[in-house]
Every structure is written in structure tokens, then in C-alpha cells.
Structure 1
Amino acid sequence: MKNLKMAKALLPAMMVLSWLTIPLLGKKVIKRFLPTSMLMAIIVWLEGRLAKKRKWWWYYVKIHPKLSGGFPLTWGPFLIGSIWILRLTYGKFKWYLLLNLAVDTVFTYKFVDMLKDLGIASLVRLKKYQLSILFFLKSLLLYGFQVIREKVTIWNGKNER
């Protein structure tokens, strides 16, 4: 029961703490990278629905009866982390891949174990290396969406940088 209380507090806290870093990014950065990061968060949310159906992973804790434990991770650390990673590395693709590899590795091989130990979530039919591949593919999508957005924005003469 103690772990359940901690889990129910930890997930929203991670979401709130992520959002508290937004002022550090600045208005221009948010305007530039939020749309593609939101698009990826929507894709991750849809992926979560597929994962539930196919039992790739399972959340044991809900922060609300209608919200799975994945909600605060998607709309907190994933969304805001995507903006930060783009802000720090966009235009330097090798650094982007390296930073994503580091963050995704820590999540897959450390944080997933922590979630399991706390009784929050666990991988079911997905192996850690498969989760790593999913993260890699999503990082390529995020960067690709941003490249397309920047080309369209420049092409329309509305460069927001």
C-alpha cells in the first residue's frame, strides 16, 4: 500500500516538475518546437493504446479512473523532454541521436526497472531491446517532423525563429 501511495504521487509530480521547466525554454523555443513535440506526444498516446491492446506493457497504477499511468509520462517528461532535446540539439543531428540514445537507454534500462519495482508498470510482451528500437524510431520521427515543419515555415515566409 505504501508503494501505491508513492506511485500515485510520483507520476503527477514527474509531470508537474517537467512543466515547471517550461519558463527556462523561452517563448521562441516553445513556439518553434511545441507543435512537433505535441504531434509526437499524440503518437505516443496512440502507441500506448496499441500497447495496451497487444499487452506490450502494462500500467498497474492509474492517477485517475479514466487516465492510465502512462498519461503523466507522455504529457510530462516525454512532451517537455522532446522540446528540451530539440532545443539543445536541433541542427546537430549526430548530437541529437547521441542525446536521445543516452536518455532512452537510461529510461529503458533503469527507469523501466524502477517503475516495475514500485508496482507502477512493467513490460509484458515487449523486450527492452524492442522498446529501445521503438524509442529510436520515435526520435527519428520527431526530428523528421521538425525538419518538415521548418521547411514549410520557411517556405511560407513565416520563419518563427
Structure 2
Amino acid sequence: MKKSKLLLIMLILPWITVPFLGVNSFKKYLPSALFSCIFTKALDMYGKKNKWWKFYKGIGLLDSMTFFNFGPYLVTSLWMLKTTYGKFPLYLIVNAINHITFTFIGLKLLKRYKIAGSLVKMNKLQYLLLLTFRGLVLYGFQLIIDLKKSNDKV
């Protein structure tokens, strides 16, 4: 399969599940998921500049990680928050399973299909810690939004 088709599938396929989130959950968690994607894009650019990893070319001006970020990652963030938000220990466990799977299996698959390159100046444990930090940022941002909304009601 051509890489451009695979990237488009990675971008579109996860979005097919979004209607099952429900409108209220989508509206509630979208700001946090978008913030996390923007934060991740900033990390991607910083990591690329510092040669932590390398990306393959995407389609047009978008690198392959941008497709991954606004496809599977954004939708996964929405689902993670919908299913585990408010249950922090469960969130940590599910997030850890997702990140371990991605780090040790997903990266190999993405490299095979020339979507993600490889870790260069970062080992898998460091990358796993970075993903964990990113997951905490996602949860923390949603917590801040909810605290602000509850303070506005008082």
C-alpha cells in the first residue's frame, strides 16, 4: 500500500468512531484533546530539532507525524478521557498499557511503513517517559478546565 494512502487511512479511520463518543463527551473533551495535540506537535518539532527522532515525509507540507497526531492520537485522547476521566488510577493504567504497546510495537510498525523513522538520541524508556508526561498533561488540562467550570458556577 502506498504511504500516502496509509497516512490518509490513519487520519480518517479513527474519526469514524467519533460519533460513538456522543456529542456531550465530544464537546467536553475536545479542548483538552486539541491542546494535547498542539503540545505534542511542539514536542515533535523540538524533538526533531534536537534529533531525538526522525520522521518520514508526509503528504504535501505535513510530515507523517502530523497525520498521526490529528488522526489516531487526537481520537484516542478523546476516548481515553471519555472512558477513564475521573478515575485517575484507571487512567494511569490504561495510558501505561497504550504507551508501552505503542513504544515497543507501534513504533516498529510505523517504521516498517515509513511513517515514523526511529528514535535517534532517545531510547525507548526515555520516549515512554515522554509519552507518560504527555498523558499527564492531557489529564491535567481537562482537570483545569473542569475546575474552572465548577468555580464559574459558584
TM-score range normalised by the length of the shorter chain: over 0.9
Deviations 1:7-52 (A, max 9, x none): 2221220110111111110110011100011111000011111111
**2:150 equivalent among 125, 129, 154:** 154
Residue 70 in structure 1 maps to residue 42 in structure 2: no
Is the Cα–Cα contact under 8 Å of residues 54 and 119 in structure 2 kept in the other structure?
yes
On the 8 A contact 2:65/2:115 being kept in 1, the answer is no
SS in 2 for 1:80: helix
Residues of 1 paired with 2:34 and 2:115: CA distance?
24
The partner residue of 1:39 within 24, 35, 41 is 35
1:101 corresponds to 2:96: yes
Q: Distance in 1 between matches of 2:35 and 2:55?
A: 23
Correspondence list, 1:47-62, <5 A: 47-62=43-58
CA distance in 2, matches of 1:118, 1:67: 17
**Corresponding residue number in structure 2 for 1:123:** 119
Structure 2: 5+ residue stretches without partners: none
Percent of matched pairs sharing the same residue: 36
Aligned-partner Cα distance in 2 for 1:110–1:134: 17
CA RMSD of superposed structures (Å): 1.4
TM-score (norm 2): 0.94
Query: Any unmatched runs of 5+ in structure 1?
Result: none
